[in-house]
Amino acid sequence: MHFHFSLYSSILLIFFSQGVVFSFLLVKKSWTRPCNPSMWLGIFVFLCTLYLIPWMLGFAGWYSLLPYRDILFYIPFQQLFFIGPAIYFYTKSLLNPSFKFLRKDWIHLIPGLVYIVYRLIVFSVDKIILGQYYFYENGRDKNLDTWYQMAGFVSMLIYFLLCLRYYADYKKIIFQTLSYADTVLFGWVRRYLITFLIMQVLWLVFFLFYPDWGNFKEKWWYYLTFSSLIYYIAITGYTNNLKSVTSFKSSVLGPDHVKFLDTEIYTHEIQNGRQLELESIINHTENESLEHWKIRILNLIETEKVFLNPNLTLMDMANLLNTNQTLVSKMINQGFRMNFNDFINEFRVKDVIEAFHQGKYKKHTLLGISFDSGFNSKTSFNRSFKKHTGLSPKEYLSKLKETPREPVGGNG
């Protein structure tokens, strides 16, 4: 097989080979374990790896020789309309354990499928019907047409925004359902979305300076940077083992476009021999007053000290109150004007403050005291303490030592 090894083609060949390997490893990871995010990430990396082919083989001399020239012409290696949906489905499957690819999701693949049909028409006319270049009479690869590159850029930018919206929905949900939300914010999601955005910004910069996407040498630097970014996503994504534990439903439109799935209540009721619908349960329990629920919730907190459980969830609270998490969330939001995460962490902060006043800081570290009070990370402890007192833990202790018998802080 003809392949001219040059600086340009050889470097891209290295990234191409690594991309194929990581694509296989990611998909294999999804086979050996129920890990759909790995499958979607594998597809994304593979599509991005295919994106390199026209440049890699172009610098290897394929555009100047037959039959290699026809291979590049008639096989649509750059599937720009599929890259965006792949990263979007990866984001959804990573953040939402209840995500499944449904029939309605095929709508995201329609532009890519239409482009494949268009390329089949081009092949049929040129190679089967006419037997000569018709669509390719100008000798330029359709993958590199300006309209297609621009449309692909717009598509990927739209899906970046959809991923960003979905991640924002995820953060909203975990603060409503988990008392340890700070520890599952998934910094990896932020990093690969930033990397994906950098890819789009680079494309725009190179397009503005070199509008002709068929200009090989100028665009090579873009493809080199693109390859490096994809390599980072591939290797870091492969080592990522974090999974979301919170299921939720998100829609693009509507004032209440995101809500958690209260599916646990069905399991709870079925196990107890009661086939009750979720809506009827909620309607029945909401007949009781808001003040009644505030008293019940506060009584549970004060008597059971459930906030000391570092892994406390909204569902745990609902089970202890013999109701559903939808109702508990609503009562906390309306009754205490806080989300579940802030509500529980406020009691943890109060417990830490009580420990400070008891002088435990003399024998224990601040982090040790925070862990004893239910926090499970330094970041969450510092953020919550600052939010509820207006001071950092160290600032609070300093003032406490100055005025040991007086309350300290603005919100405490």
Query: Alpha carbon 37 to chain centroid distance?
Result: 10
Residues 299-314 have pLDDT tens digits of: 999 899 999 999 999 9
CA distance linking residue 65 with residue 18, whole number of Å: 26
pLDDT at 62: 92
Provide the 8-state DSSP code for 2: -
Is the pLDDT at 265 greater than 80, yes or no?
Answer: no
pLDDT band at 272 (very low <50, low <70, confident <90, very high): very low
Look at phi and psi of residue 132 and say left if phi exceeds 0, alpha if psi is from -120 to 50, else beta: beta
* Structure confidence at residue 253 as a pLDDT band (50, 70, 90): low
pLDDT at res. 266: 37
Q: What is the pLDDT of residue 254?
A: 52
pLDDT value at residue 361:
85
CA 205, 210, 216: angle at the middle one, nearest 5? 115
Element (H, E) at 38: helix 36-51
Top-confidence residue, 218 or 136: 136
Please give the single-letter amino acid code of residue 276. Answer: L
pTM of the model: 0.85
Q: Which CATH class is domain 7-250?
A: mainly alpha
Rounded Cα distance between 336 and 269, Å, is: 28
The helix-helix angle for 325-336 and 278-285 (nearest 10°) equals 30
188 closest CA partner among 169, 225, 163: 163
H helices of 64-186, in order, are 68-74, 80-95, 110-123, 146-177
* Choice between 64 and 410, residue whose per-residue pLDDT is larger: 64
Share of the chain above pLDDT 90, in %: 58
User: Which band of pLDDT confidence, cut at 50, 70 and 90, is reported for residue 240?
Assistant: confident
For domain 339-412, the CATH superfamily is: Homeodomain-like (1.10.10.60)
Phi, psi of 258 (to 5 degrees): -135, 135
Burial of 240 per CB tally in 10 Å (0-12, 13-18, 19+): middle
Burial of 55 (0-12, 13-18, 19+ CB in 10 A): buried
Q: Which position has the token pair 């340890």?
A: 180
How many Cβ atoms are within 10 Å of 204's Cβ, its own excluded? 13
* pLDDT of 215 higher than 80: no
Check residue 405 and give its pLDDT.
54
Strands (DSSP E) found in 155-282: 248-250, 258-260
The number of residues in the chain equals 412
- Sign of CA pseudo-dihedral 386, 344, 254, 152: positive
Q: How far apart are CA 37 and CA 216, in angstroms?
A: 34
Q: What is the pLDDT of residues 3-12, one digit of tens each?
A: 899 999 999 9
Mean pLDDT confidence for 331-336: 90
Determine contact, residues 265/325, Cβ cutoff 8 Å: yes
Of the listed ranges 26-40, 222-236, 393-407, the least confidently predicted one is 393-407
Neighbours of 233 (CB within 10 A): 22
Q: Which two tokens stand for residue 198?
A: 């950098």
Q: Is the pLDDT of residue 290 over 60?
A: yes
CA 160 to chain CA centroid, Å, is 10
- pLDDT confidence tier of residue 257, bands split at 50, 70 and 90: low
Residue 20 has pLDDT above 80, yes or no: yes
Position 258 confidence tier, pLDDT thresholds 50, 70, 90: low
Asked if residue 12 lies in contact with residue 224, where contact means CB atoms within 8 angstroms, the answer is yes
Residue among 387, 409, 388 at smallest CA distance from 397 = 409
Q: Where are the domains of the chain?
A: 7-250, 275-307+314-337, 339-412
What pLDDT does residue 282 have? 46
In this prediction, residue 25 carries a pLDDT of 94
The pLDDT of residue 308: 94
**Residue 412 confidence (pLDDT) above 60:** no
Residues 6+ apart with CB under 8 A from 253: none
Q: Indicate the pairing of strand 258-260 with strand 248-250.
A: antiparallel
The answer to whether 199 and 222 are in contact (CB under 8 A) is no
pLDDT bucket at 264, cuts 50 / 70 / 90: very low
Contact assessment for residue 108 and residue 85, using Cβ atoms and an 8 Å cutoff: yes
For 153-210, how does the pLDDT look when each residue is reduced to its tens digit (9 = 90+)? 999 999 999 999 999 999 999 999 999 888 888 889 999 999 999 999 999 998 888 8
Average pLDDT over residues 374-386: 91
Distance CA 276, CA 187 (A): 39
| pLDDT digit string, tens, across residues 70-108 | 999 999 999 999 999 999 999 999 999 888 999 999 999
Which stretches of 134-260 are assigned E, i.e. beta strand?
A: 248-250, 258-260
| pLDDT for residue 236 is more than 90 | yes
Q: What is the DSSP letter of 312?
A: -
**Mean of per-residue pLDDT scores for the chain:** 86
